[in-house]
Structure 1
Amino acid sequence: MCGGQGTRLDFDGEKPCFEIGGVPMIDRVIDALVASRIEQVFAVVSPDTPRTAAHVDVPVIEGPGEGYVADLERALDRVDTPVLTVGADLPLLAGEAVDWVLDEYDAGSAMVAVPVELKRSLGVSIDATIEAAGQEVAPTGVNVVGPPEPEQTLMTTDTRFAVNVNRLRDAWVATVLDDRRDDGPR
C-alpha cells in the first residue's frame, strides 16, 4: 500500500520514496516481501504517487486516491484473498518478519499489532490504538485480508513492525535502528 502523500513528513516528495539510510522506504518493503515466502507482490499506488508507480519494479495497481480504504478495495478487486497488506512506511521490515506473520495466520482476517508501550519506548508516533489481549496496542500497517471471520490480532514486540515512518522523528528512529547500516556494531 503506497498511495500516501506523506504530508506529516514535511518534505517535498512522495511518502513511499522517502529515504531511510539512502534507500526509499518502498524499496525496503518490497525487498522484505521478496525475501519472504510471499508469492506475488503488487504496489497499490494512487494519483498522489506517480513517481512511486514509475519507480517500483513490481506490478502496479492504481487506486483511486480517495484514502487507504478506497485504494485497498480497488486492490482487492484485482487479487484473490487472503492477501497480506503492508504499508510502505515500514522501512525496517525483513523477510523473516513477514514469514512470521504467515506462520501465525490461521484463517479469516488478521491485524499485526505491537504494545503501545513498545512504541513509546522507541519514541515513535502512535496514530491509533485499540484494546487487545488485555492491553493497549497499536496496529502496525501489516494485515491479512480474508474472510471477515474469524478476526485475529497477531501480537508482537518485534521493533521492525513498530516503526511506521509518519513523521520526521519516526524517520530518525528508523535510521538509528536500521540494521542495513554499515557503520559497525551497535
Structure 2
Amino acid sequence: MCGGRGSRLGDETEKPLRAIAGRPMVDRVVDALAESRIAATHAVVSPHATRTRAHLAERATDSPSPSVVDAPGNGYVADLQYAMDAVDAGGDPLLTVAADLPLLDGAAVNAVIDAARAADGDSLTVCVPAARKRELGVSADATTAIDGREVVPAGINVVGTGDREANDADGDANDADGDGGAVHLTDDVRIAVNVNYPSDARTAERLLKHDVTQPPVDGSVDHHTDQ
C-alpha cells in the first residue's frame, strides 16, 4: 500500500518516497517482498501519490518490480478493498503491507506468512505491543487492547479468502486490512517501526545505522488469539 500523502512527515515528499538512509521506503518494502516467499507483488497507488507511481514505473525495467494498481484514493481501507477486488489471487490469502516499514526484510515477511499458516483460519492481524514501540522511540498511534495489553496494528497483515468473500457479500470493508481471524503479537523491530513522523524517520535511520534490525534475543512474542 503506497498511496499516502505523508502529511504528518512535514514536507512535500510523498510518504512512500521518503528516504530512509538514502533509499525510499517503498523501495525497501518492495525489495523485502522480493526476498520473501511472496509469489507476486502489487503496488497500490492513488491520485495522492503520482510521483510514487512514476517512481515505480521507472524501476519497472529493473528486477524486482511490482505491478501497479491504481486505486481511487478514498482512504487506506477503501483503496485496499479496491485492490483486493482488482487482483486475481487465485483463491490464495493476500499479504497486505504498508509502505512505511523501512526495516522490513524477507525473513520478517516469511515469519508473518508462517504465523498465518500456524493460526486458525487463513487471516492474521499483526500487532506490536505499544510498550515495545515506545521503547524503540517510535510513535504508537491507534492503540487497541488485546487480552488487557495495549497494542498497535503493525501495517502488515494476511487477509484470507473467507474475509474477502464476506466483504464482497455485505459490502463492508472493515475487515479488509486484516481485522478478522487471529492476531499475532510480535516484538520484532523490523515490524515494529512504522514511519509516520519525522522522529520515526530518525529512529529508523539510527536503527539501520547500528544494524539493530534483528528480532530480540528471546524471539518475537508468538501470541495468537481469535478476534
Scaled by the length of structure 2, the TM-score of the pair is 0.76
Structure 2 gap segments, 5+ residues each: 57-64, 167-179, 212-227
- CA distance in structure 2 between the partners assigned to 1:119 and 1:31 by the alignment: 24
Matches within 5 A, 1:88-107: 88-106=99-117, 107=121
1:139 aligns with 2:153: yes
Mapped pair 1:161 → 2:191: yes
Which residue number corresponds to residue 184 of structure 1? none
Residue 180 of structure 1: how far off its partner (Å): 8.6
SS at match of 1:111: strand
In structure 1, how many angstroms separate the alpha carbons of the residues matched to 2:75 and 2:142?
Answer: 16
Q: Distance in 1 between matches of 2:98 and 2:8?
A: 15
Q: 1:155 Cα shift?
A: 1.1
Deviations 1:25-77 (A, max 9, x none): 00000010000000000100000111111212321001110100111011011
Identify the residue that residue 140 of structure 2 maps to in structure 1: 126
Q: What is the aligned partner in structure 1 of residue 171 from structure 2?
A: none
Q: Secondary structure at the match of 1:154?
A: strand
Task: List alignment gaps of at least 5 residues for structure 1.
Answer: 182-186
Match of 1:31 in 2: 31
Q: CA deviation at 1:123?
A: 1.3
User: Paired residue for 2:84?
Assistant: 76
Which residue of structure 2 lines up, in the alignment, with residue 152 of structure 1? 182
Paired residue type of 1:117: A
Q: CA deviation at 1:134?
A: 3.7
Distance 1:77 1:18 in 2: 28
Residue 174 (1) aligns with residue 185 (2):
no
Moved more, 85-94 or 141-150: 141-150
Asked which structure has the greater CA Rg, the reply is 2
Q: 1:12 is aligned with what amino acid?
A: E
Secondary structure at the counterpart of residue 8 of structure 1: helix
Instruction: Name the counterpart of 2:71.
Output: 63
User: What TM-score do you get using the length of structure 1 for normalisation?
Assistant: 0.92
Is structure 2 residue 74 aligned with structure 1 residue 44? no
Change (3 A) 1:179 1:155: farther
Letter of the 1:62 partner, please give it: D
Structure 1 residue 133, shift from structure 2 partner: 3.9
- Once the 2 structures are TM-superposed, how far is the Cα of residue 129 of structure 1 from its aligned partner? 1.3
Q: Distance in 2 between matches of 1:47 and 1:3?
A: 7
Aligned equivalents of 2:79, 2:182: Cα separation in 1: 22
Q: Secondary structure at the match of 2:74?
A: coil
Aligned residues: 181
Deviates more, 1:11-20 or 1:103-112: 103-112
